[in-house]
A and B are shown apart, each in its own frame.
Chain A
Amino acid sequence: MQLNDWLIMKQELLLVAIILGILVVWLWKEPSNEAWINGMNLVLFFNIIGGLWDFNYGTLFGESFLVTPLILAEKTILNLAVWIIALFSYDWCKKANNLPEFYLLLITSLLGMFLMLSSQNILLFFLGLEMSSLPLAAAAGFDFGRRHSPEAAMKLVISSAFSSALLLFGISWLYGLTGTLDFSGLITHIGHSPLSILAFLLILSGFAFKISAVPFHLWTADVYQGAPTAVTAFLSVVSKSAIFMVMIPVLYQTFEEQIDIWYPGLIILALASILIANFFAIKQLNLKRLLAFSSIAQVGFLLIALAAHTQEGATSVLFFLLIYLFSNLAAFGVVSVLSAQYGIEEISDLSGMYRTHPFLSWILTIALFSLAGIPPTAGFFGKFFLLLSGSSGGNYWVIGIAAANMVISLYYYLRVVKTIFLNQPVQSLPQHTLSFSVKFALLFCAVGIVLIGFFGFLYEHLFQLLTGIN
């Protein structure tokens, strides 16, 4: 292999370098938490820039590892999300024990996702998936002091193991059927036998577990509530985005012939997710649980567009993921600050927060409105195009149900906004100056939420990436 070939996987190499760097520095001496945080924020920023430096595309390792402009862009989106999470977790990180381990776990998980995105071989794909989920289980249990945290870790381990088992079972059937593990080989050999359908359904269930679509969602709320907020944000944004990014080529290319199976399958998953998550979200009292159910509902909307099996649908999915990244991270950013500063995570604790914390209140409001899909926030555009793509087959009843659920979802988002702005404060939260990195991360997200919708060329760019080379 020549140097140029190595540069194809430079995003992965950068992550490996960061991981090794952390280990070496950690061995050498014990810097303070503050130094770790600032250093890592900087390193993760350069990681984004480095990934964009000097484009190299192509395949490696006997065509099992592929980088296209689309995959590069997807990895950059994930890099960006991790950077924002690192920035807004400042307050929490300052108090954390064994902080380097935390970064180590998150970055390892990210590395796994990168491998998964680039994989052209289903075994490599599986390795990447496992590599991305196991560290997260450890990270979910990172708050040793809180009782919920180990519980979250346990639930995550067991449910990931179960979904991996389903996936692996499906993969083994596929191998038995086709005798190949390359995606390109699968396309030609997969056929339409009952066995291949069974294998495909198992694989689809594995995916559904990871994106926590109903009825594979039961682990979500408890894990989201128990895990440290940074990990919750990572789970809900980065993990889900990565799986969706993988699902596009897997469904649209590898299993294209199985469309008569996965189209109704995805629609059922989508409607079940939207309906059930919305009805559960109405009753939630804990902000993180609310966001957990809200993220399940968002998954439902994403699945509707994904099921449309058009390039526009896939573009809408990617576009929405980008918007979802900013919206959800802004919401989790505020939650992270509140829980690290005051230890509050209940919605009722936010009563009258606007009087003491106008900045945080506005950020959370904008984020929630974006999740609800109200303009001028980007969420409006995201949802609009998801549902518009979903209507392409003339399935108006599907988008009708989804649109009706947007009304229901508005109710529980507005309930939080109402608590912030209208309710009388029950306890007055002391004023607290936000650190620069938190402020920057939240403002960055807010600006993203407000502006992305007006940047139609972003959508066009994603569309070209999807259609052009892929």
Chain B
Amino acid sequence: MNLLQFLAVPLVTCLLIAGTPRAVYNRMFALVGTAVQLFLVIYLIRQFIAARIQQPAEVYFLQQFEWFPTWGIQFQIGVDGISLSMMLLTALVVLAGVLVSWNQEKMSREFFFLLVFLSLGAYGFFMSRDIFTLFFFLELAVLPKFLLIGIWGSGRKEYSAMKLALMLMAGSALVFIGLAAIYQQAHSFDLAILSRHAFPVSFQYLFFPFLFLGFGFFAALFPFHTWVPDGHASAPTAASMFLAGVSMKLGGYGCLRVASFLMPEAAQYYGPAIIALSAIAIFYGAFVTLMQTDLKYMNAYSSVSHCGFVMLGIGIFNVTSVNGAVLQMISHGLMTALFFAAIGMIYERTHTRQVNELGGLLKNMPIISTVFILAGLCSLGLPGMSGFVAEMTVFTGAWQNTSGWIRLATILSCASIVVTAVYILRAAGKAVMGPLAAGWQNLKDAAWQEQLAAGLLLVGIFVMGLAPFLLQYLTGNEADGLVRSASSQLINK
């Protein structure tokens, strides 16, 4: 299967959107384009499973094109289980994002153009098998993110857009230093070649932090998470969904695939530091969320806390925990996108996101309220939904490490779930249940496109929660392989 079509479809969609001035066609093109992309991803997964049964390999459908032969840089794309699941997540979130922005009136052409363009970068990033290509797609998102938040955002949007762009650029700058060092050491950007290259230990100790912290900016690793609350809270609904659902995963994926995978010794050496930072993010994020009264800020801080689990899994770096980290990336992507969608729908109708001003929404908006509650339940890790599966796996993995300090971090992280339950249930109880607050009598419930968007994400959450083996079947091999190949490098020395 030609992977280029996963870049070509969004690109053509973008061009079509840019070429039509009428709002009705813009959203139609965006919808058709993203729907086609979702079908293509599902079809690709089928092809992938067939190919893997036939002949297991490291990378499937690999394609290489000469790009800068002077430097030996190739445009290289290929997929494996982890990147496929990420692409599926991207496809779901973008489609849902287009659906919830269906009634976008202000500059709709530019809006859909930038949204689809944002997804193009994510697809490219997850397919890259060459870290130059990867870096290119990582930075591709700066322009659309800045404009999406700045133009269509709410609140302190200019400040948030600027902060997000600069902080992510700072992350890129750190990643760049790491990349340059890797290149000077191994004279290649090809992941396959680099994974076989044994980097000297002192080199790893020096440059692993650059790569890991650089990607950590994107993954909201404490203390580089400060762009998350402002950025997510100010962004328009679809952009919040994409930022929290997909963009933050770029960081986790990069930490796993580039930093920890290429420099296993350093990953082991810095493991305790990473674990400490992620435990702080989890615990601190949960308590800060407790103090929020704005629904979007609440979900944004809870994202910091949840993404901490991803980094915790990567920091522990054993087979179970890395599997858990991958699951958590997908689970959090679906869950947070759903949460932002629900908050967006509520905001669109009531024009407030303050928990205190809302109340009893279940009475006249049963569907939206149900979606809100379901997203909340998934967030606090209710069994049967994706959050439970992922977080449980991370904890199990973390517990396998017998060091006392790591046990302590694990216990702290586990305990944060109680805090999560407090803020979720409190918000749900106040905003959705109880007596109907004054002024909200004439609100309309979700329209068809909003139901469809929520339905798509809910299907993902429940399938993952009830049948985790399906996703495990897709990503398990690769996650295991990633850890094994890295640890075999450790043993060989």
Contact = CB atoms under 8 A, between A and B. Distances in A.
B71 A388 contact: yes
Contacts of A374: 139, 142-143
Contacts of A394: 184
B199 interface: no
A376 B140 contact: yes
Interface in B64-88: 66-71, 73
A174 B143 CA distance: 50
Given A414-B146, A422-B150, A422-B158, A380 B70 contact: no
A459 B161 CA distance: 34
Given A388-B71, A403-B176, A460-B70, A375 B183 contact: no
Given A411-B162, A414-B165, A375 B173 contact: no
Contacts of B73: 456
B147 A421 contact: yes
- Which label, helix, strand, loop or mixed, suits the secondary structure of the B interface? helix
Contacts of A422: 150-151, 157-158, 161
A423 B180 CA distance: 38
Contacts of B66: 456-457
Contact of B184 (A391, A414, A460): A391
Interface string B159-196: 00110011001100110110011011000000000000
Given A374-B139, A411-B166, A460 B150 contact: no
A63 B165 CA distance: 53
Nearest to B67: A456
Contacts of A399: 176-177, 180
Interface in A359-392: 365, 369, 374-376, 380-381, 384-385, 387-388, 391-392
A396 B147 contact: no
Interface in B130-164: 132, 135-137, 139-140, 142-143, 146-147, 150-151, 157-158, 161-162
A118 interface: no
B150 A418 contact: yes
8 contacts: A381-B68, A391-B184, A406-B173, A410-B142, A410-B166, A417-B147, A418-B150, A422-B151
A157 B30 CA distance: 56
Interface residues of B, number: 35
A315 interface: yes
- With a 10 A CB-CB cut-off, give which of A394, A403, A418, A421 has the most chain B CB atoms: A403
Contacts of A459: 68, 70
Contact of B139 (A375, A417, A454): A375
Contacts of B184: 391-392, 394
Contacts of B170: 404, 407
A463 interface: yes
A369 B143 contact: yes
A343 B165 CA distance: 31
A388 B70 contact: no
Contacts of B69: 456-457, 460
A315 B170 CA distance: 27
A91 interface: no
B136 A421 contact: no
Interface string A398-439: 011001101100110010011001100000000000000000
A421 B151 contact: yes
A421 B147 CA distance: 8
Given A388-B180, A399-B180, A312 B136 contact: no
